Structure 1
Amino acid sequence: MVELGFTLSSEEYGPNELVEYGVRAEEVGFDFLSVSDHFHPWVSAQGESPFVWSVLAGLASQTDEIEIGVGVTCPTIRIHPVNVAHAVATTDVMADGRFTFGVGTGENLNEHVTGEKWPEHDVRLEMLSESMDLMRDLWDGENTSHHGEYYTAENARLYTIPEEIPEIVVSAFGPQTAKMAGEEGDGLWCSGPKGEVVEAYEDAGGEGPKYTQLHCCYADSEDEAIDTVHELWPNGFIPGELGQELPSPAHFQQAATMVDREDVAEGSTVTDPDPQTHIDSIEQAIDAGYDHVYVHQIGPEQGKALEFYEEEVLPSFQ
């Protein structure tokens, strides 16, 4: 059976608002939450970027049963995997096992801030693999030393650890990373109903949960929704690998000048207020092989969107 989730966009809202919307999402009947991990927003108009681990702690303490996930963090450059492993262990303990740990190879936008070199994708994938091994060793709760190609840990031990080692769900947008997710991860994380990514993951032996995010903007009219997306989320329409390579919100804003209103109207982001359009979008993702589907409501109408999903969309999947 599919589980449905709600995105808490740390690019658009401050920490207290994110916790508030997470509590409300649990009340309306969503099964899980996904919080984005960003040092910068994509474009300055989005306006926020709180520290995700503080937000996750707030959600763990203010919710009761809903699953909580980070979708996704990059445990390779901006933060050493020893520190990420520490944060994951504490968060999972606070959430009493309700935490899901999503990881990815990251974006230059977030990871360049410490001044480290931004490597090509193949190197980032190797770094991610090594960081996963190191974090799993630390979650055993034993004294750990690691001298790898990219990371060093000396006599590191985590004393606060969950009862079970956290699963690592790996983000993939193409077959190469999907193969790695199937071979080394405990699940798949994606964006959009990409059936070929599921196929590559399963062909590589992946048997864990499969997450995907769908973008939408619920508003009083489709025109209003299109205007909101065009203003606040033009980054979703920037083509190719620019999303991984551009280093600052200013660069994304420059690239977004290539995106016009018609691109939003003709794109995959759901802007139609008809409930059936939202239901069809979720069903398309399910048909593509995903068993965890979550929606990202773009813009200020978070409360209205949650009420709309409670009354018009979620009942179709219960």
Structure 2
Amino acid sequence: MRFGYTLMTEQAGPKALVRYAAAAERAGFDFEVSSDHFSPWLAEQGHAPYAWSVLGAVAQCTERVELMTYVTCPIMRYHPAVVAQKASTMQLLSDGRFTLGLGAGENLNEHVVGRGWPAVNVRHEMLEEALHIIGGLFDGGYFSYAGEHFRVDSAKLWDLPGQRTPIAVAVSGAQSVTRFAPLADAMVAVEPKASLCREWDKAGGGAGDRKIGQLPVSWDRDSAAASRRAHEQFRWFGGGWKVNAELPGPSGFAGATQFVTESDVSQSIPCGPEVGPILKSLREFADAGFTDVALVQIGGEHQDGFLEFAEAELLPALRQEWGN
């Protein structure tokens, strides 16, 4: 497996994220992913800078790590033609290190443009059209499109990288896998389900495609403090994406998780100073067939300590376990 670091825009401001990105590269991470949110999940997280500006800066302060959106929704807040332009620009700025991660989005971020929130089947239709538009623009030349949800009139990417930007798509079940595997270069999922990897390969993705997961951790020398922080800022994570995609704002997530206990969270998220629990959780992704996992350190002000821990202890242990 390859190991990544998450630039979580919901829990840190833009300058801090850029600084963490440079430090994560120095620590030895293979790639870095960025969330793309208009709002944090919970008010306690407290941030939501514009991910694409952050990524542009990160492309200039790093040299080696691959970069990726994890993930951008190209169906409401952004028109897919504009997403294609942003991705091509990022590929040029990063000298070919960028992967465009896409998904069907969450009400939390997309309702802000005042168009309501479509049913999941409609969102999947929209994402499929968006993938055709983005792919068509990546092909070069003038491109037009007339679909049920989107139109494109004679658009062209004038700054198109020589290396085609890979596209990864977030999936959560058989329906999304079957629909999107033939249209993408890599799979994104946050649960270590072997069925997703098998179905992706069967649906046309191919056994050689990257399967990119994500694992939240709450590192702290004080295990009790790590557990408290995980509950405060990440109790929304256990709701599952069918729930998380529908709630409209932080107050909704606060209400939906009011009865989630600290023990509930710490049982599903590695908390504390030890490598072992993180290794155990990553092994679930490896056994399921994932090729890459991006770690999320919970707590914006706790990144520096985590990155020191990652460089000194965590990443060497992971390299030894997986031999890379």
Counterpart of 1:248 in structure 2 is: 249
Structure 1 residues 151 and 240 mapped into 2: Cα distance closer, same or farther (>3 Å)? closer
After superposition, where does 1:26-65 map in structure 2 within 5 Å? 26-65=25-64
Measure how far apart 1:254 and its partner are.
1.3
Q: Is the 8 A contact 1:73 1:104 kept in 2?
A: yes
In the TM superposition, residue 181 of structure 1 has moved relative to its aligned partner by 3.0
Distance in 1 between residues matched to 2:228 and 2:309, nearest whole Å: 20
The one-letter code sitting in structure 2 at the alignment partner of 1:288 is A
Does the aligned pair in 1 maintain the 2:215–2:294 contact within 8 Å? yes
Residue in structure 2 matched with residue 141 of structure 1 by the alignment: 140
Alignment of 1:108-257 (within 5 A): 108-207=107-206, 208-239=209-240, 241-257=242-258
Per the alignment, residue 309 of structure 2 pairs with 308
Q: 1:165 offset after TM fit, Å? A: 2.1
Corresponding position of 2:101: 102
In the other structure, the counterpart of 1:286 is 286
The more displaced of 191-200 and 89-98 is 191-200
CA distance in 2, matches of 1:232, 1:265: 12
Which whole-Å deviations, capped at 9, do the CAs of 1:123-152 have from their partners, x for residues lacking one? 111111111111111122311111111111
Report what 1:260 is aligned to. 261
Shift of 1:169: 0.4
SS at match of 2:289: coil
Range with bigger deviation, 2-11 or 161-170: 161-170
With over 3 angstroms needed to count, the CA separation of the structure-2 counterparts of 1:128 and 1:240, relative to structure 1, is closer
Tell me, what secondary structure is at the counterpart of 2:70? strand
Q: Give 2:71's aligned residue.
A: 72
Cα offsets for 1:28-67 (capped at 9, x unmatched): 1000001000011001111111111101100111100110
- Structure 1 range deviating more: 106-115 or 183-192: 183-192
SS at structure 2 position matched to 1:73: coil
Q: Whole-Å Cα distance in 1 between the matches of residues 118 and 61 of structure 2?
A: 38
SS in 2 for 1:206: coil
TM-superposed CA distance for 1:240, in Å, is: 6.2
Cα separation, 1, equivalents of 2:184 and 2:131? 9
Q: Deviations over 1:156-210 (max 9, x none)?
A: 1110111122111010111211222322211100113121211211121212111
Instruction: Output the CA distance in 2 between the equivalents of 1:75 and 1:118.
Output: 14
- Rounded Cα–Cα distance in structure 2 between residues aligned with 1:11 and 1:221: 23
Query: TM-score normalized by structure 2?
Result: 0.95
Give the drift of 1:239.
4.8
Q: How far did residue 118 of structure 1 move?
A: 1.1
Determine the C-alpha separation between the residues in 1 that align with 2:312 and 2:194: 29
TM-score by length of 1: 0.96
SS of 1:205's partner is coil
Q: Secondary structure of the equivalent of 2:269?
A: coil
Give the AA of the match of 1:275. Answer: V
Separation in structure 2 between the aligned mates of residue 155 and residue 193 of structure 1, nearest angstrom = 41
Offset at residue 286 of structure 1 (A) = 1.1
Counterparts of 2:155 and 2:308 in 1: how far apart (Å)?
A: 46
Question: Quick one: which amino acid aligns to residue 141 of structure 1?
Answer: G
Q: Which amino acid aligns with 1:245?
A: E
Contact 1:210–1:291, Cα closer than 8 Å, also in 2: yes
SS across alignment from 1:245 = coil
Count how many residue pairs are aligned between Structure 1 and Structure 2: 316
SS in 2 for 1:210: strand
Is 1:19 the counterpart of 2:18 in the alignment? yes
- Deviation for aligned residue 1:221: 2.2
Matched to 2:285, the amino acid is: A
Q: Is the alpha carbon distance of 1:239 and 1:126 closer, same or farther for their aligned partners in structure 2, counting shifts above 3 Å?
A: closer
Letter in 2 for 1:195: A
Letter in 1 for 2:99: T
Contact 1:74-1:105 within 8 A present in 2 as well: yes
Residue 230 of structure 1 deviates from its aligned partner by 1.0
**CA RMSD, aligned part only?**
1.2
Instruction: Choose 62-71 or 144-153, whichever is displaced more.
Output: 144-153
**CA–CA separation in structure 2 for the residues paired with 1:186 and 1:141:** 18
Q: Distance in 2 between matches of 1:147 and 1:45?
A: 42
Gaps of 5+ in 2: none
